[in-house]
Amino acid sequence: MTAIQHPFSRVLLPLNADQLSTSTVEYAAKLGELYGVTLTLLFVHEFAGHNAGPGFAVESTEQTAQRINQLVETEIIPLLGGTPVDQVLIRTGKPADEIITAADELDADLVVMGTRGKTGLQHMIMGSVTEKVVHLINRPVLAVPVR
């Protein structure tokens, strides 16, 4: 399929390594197929390492990077169906802040994010990373429903 003219070419795709949204990855793949975009994958952890399961064992930064790189190779790249990924970023910090910072640093034309549609008490307590990004960023955000 021939790519058509569009207002964006560099797309930031923030993903949660612990709750991978295949629908969001597939949507980004469709953008690649239709418009020839290049993706930058971004993974953000709120602290160095990560809860590795029961007992709250914490991964080292190297273990986290290995786990994410394996996830990219085995699950994400196959879902992208040929859409190019120019880099995989792994950052530590508050997810919304890191997504906005990365989008600015990369001069991203579009941010594609999943949204789980939390409501009620859960939303009031935890908030939504996507909602925070939409309200604070100065770039277009495409929110893909995750069901």
Q: What is the 3-state secondary structure (H, E, C) of 12-57?
A: EEEECCCCCCHHHHHHHHHHHHHHCCEEEEEEEECCCCCECCCCCC
pLDDT band at residue 126 under the 50/70/90 scheme: very low
- pLDDT band at 9, cuts 50/70/90? confident
Q: Residue 45 CB: number of other CB atoms within 10 A?
A: 21
Q: What pLDDT shows up at residue 89?
A: 97
Q: Tell me the two tokens of residue 49.
A: 């390492």
Residues 107-125: tens digit of each pLDDT? 999 999 998 765 555 544 4
Q: Give the tens place of pLDDT for each residue, 47-86.
A: 654 455 555 557 788 888 999 999 999 999 999 999 999 9
Q: Which domains does the chain have, with CATH numbers?
A: 10-145 (3.40.50.620)
Q: Which residue has the tokens 């797309």?
A: 11
Q: Which residue has the tokens 């953008």?
A: 31
pTM of the model: 0.84
Q: Is 14 exposed, middle or buried (0-12, 13-18, 19+ CB in 10 A)?
A: buried
CA-CA-CA-CA torsion sign (89, 87, 38, 103): positive
- Band of residue 11 on the pLDDT scale cut at 50, 70, 90: very high
Map tokens 């890191």 to a residue. 98
